[in-house]
Chains A and B, each alone.
Chain A
Amino acid sequence: MNIAVLLKQVPDTTAKINVSNGKVDENSVSKWSMSPYDEYALESGLQMKEATGGVLIAIACGPERNKKMLTDAAAVGADTLIHISVDGILDSIQVQNFLAAVIKNNEVDVVLCGKQAADTNAGSTGPGVAEILDAACVTMVSEVSFIENKFISVRPSISGTEKVSTNGLSVFTFDKGVSELRRPNVRGIMMAKKKVIETIKPENLGLEGSDSERVLLKAQNSPPEKEPGQIFEGVGEIPTIISKLRNEANVI
């Protein structure tokens, strides 16, 4: 079984984000990490690989720095690493087309990814890729397993959780999964170092018209500055606090 896991590299949740001229200044991001929901997808992919004796193909689309993330994926067990090499901000439909093309070229049986990326939170990649591939798509799953030629996934439902069965090519987008991404070990790191990353330029994917942007990011802004907190001391201040909670914060 060929298991594709789509990985996006995003600014680490601890990294400071600077915005200048209506754009996030990527050069000032001190640390890039694998998007957290993608980590759950990768762990689930690794477990499926172990259960089925399959091959795990990690695919990332983005600039050169994505190679580090792919090597990190290899250190925990990804077998094939594919880097779709692009610079700058991409239209989400373009990304979906690139990913779908690579998935097609690699005879993939199942696609796992995060439900949304920690930077854009758009949540469009998984369903978008499924649409292009004409694949079944189950969103917000916490686990997926391959049982008797079917994919059984678990997702939240109106009553708690539901189990969904799909067959044929299926795309699963992960919410918080049941198991955290495993830690690498030295052996994995040394093997990962030797692994070749297959780099693909979008123009070699044989897609027509994929360079025309349809979804355009116009401007990015920083969140508004938080108002400084207020400190009150002594019992005498209690009426002021109550009045502020009631009239300004509207919480009581």
Chain B
Amino acid sequence: MGYEALDFYEVDSLLSDEERMVRDMVRDWVDEEVIPKIENACREGVFPDEWRVALGEMGVLGAPLKGYECPGLSYTAYGVICRELERGDSGLRSFASVQGSLAMYPIWDFGSEEQKNYYLPKMASGEWIGCFGLTEPDYGSNPGDMITKAEEVGDNYILNGAKMWITNGTIADLAIVWAKLDGVIRGFIVEKNDPGFSAPEMKGKHSLKASVTSELVFQDCKIPKNRILPGVKGLRGPFSCLNNARFGISWGAVGAAQACFHSAKDYAMSRIQFDHPIASYQLVQNKLSWMLREITKAQLLAYHLGQKKDSGDWIPEHISLAKMNNVDIALEIARVARDIHGANGILDEYPVMRHMANLESVKTYEGTHDIHNLILGRYITGIQSFTRGI
């Protein structure tokens, strides 16, 4: 049976015609090109290169960015794209999030005119892949204390240090690397063939298997001076990128939840136990109606946040709440859906266990669930509780 996205409150009727057309384009592509291939991609642990090409051809990379051959869509449209991609797989959405919000966006917002003209068209078309290096082995939730550093030597910067958990790292043509220059965090563009740079892949993931995750290693990595992002200093740089990516994730999680609901409902309707479909039992109905309830709320959150993003009337805490809530319920929905599928739930014939495992990463990256709690706690009380020193 074809995929019919759960939309109980018809939230999508609030989208513009253009946003709906973009949705249909991405949804059809996911149906035709992603769903049939995703399990194999996961088993082999690869991100199919044809998906990069297709995303570039559809013109959805860097969706809300304007100019420099970028799509120039609304943030709401960007959200819709993330939702449709993540209905397929969180790894696919990760690829698009990193490319658009974490690699293209900092060049677009903080880059020089020359950098924008050189990199953005190639990245919007998918010809060049970008990655974003913030996290280090010893600094995850606390990136401000990062060790990676840059030194000015003649006409170059010399980078030393290591990044970890970097999505797209090994397949990337360029990396946006955050490193300290004279103790201040700055962004640098490192290209894949720069001397002293390597990006070995991290293997053995049980989650986001169709997404490439890598280390970035800088050993006296030499880059020309014009590769620094001139427009930003300090944590505001990476955090602005993360705000946009987290916004996309708050929509993406809805897609994963919709996929799990769809599968659970179909399965419950057709699986007979004790002479009747399991969907006819109150306990199962309770699970399905809870999913409906949470997905509907998450859709409304995502949509309203999209409107706020588009009007410019938003604060980072709004995004924290939506990222935290929507990933949280999506993960729980995936777990309950897995339960409804019984033993079949662990097979790759059904998408639920894959989504469940993926969402564990999504819960952790882009600010862990609890880091967002702390952000909201600080917002409510005015007291930061990330660390003990006040």
Contact = CB atoms under 8 A, between A and B. Distances in A.
Nearest to A13: B2
Contacts of B17: 68, 71, 193
Contacts of A108: none
B57 A75 contact: no
Given A71-B21, A75-B21, A193-B18, A186 B2 contact: no
A186 B17 CA distance: 12
Contacts, number: 43
A140 interface: no
Contacts of B63: 186
A14 interface: yes
Contacts of B57: 183, 185
Contacts of B22: 186, 189
Contacts of A22: none
Contacts of B348: none
B-side interface size class: 10 to 19
Interface in A154-182: none
B189 interface: no
B28 interface: yes
A72 B18 CA distance: 10
B59 A187 contact: yes
A183 B1 CA distance: 22
Interface of chain A, helix or strand or loop or mixed?
A: helix
Contacts of A63: none
B72 interface: yes
Interface in A52-96: 68, 71-72, 75
Contact of B58 (A30, A68, A186): A186
A244 B356 CA distance: 46
A71 B22 CA distance: 12
A190 interface: yes
Contacts of A6: none
Given A185-B57, A185-B59, A190 B18 contact: yes
B259 interface: no
Given A186-B59, A187-B71, 5 more contacts: A71-B17, A185-B25, A185-B57, A186-B71, A190-B72
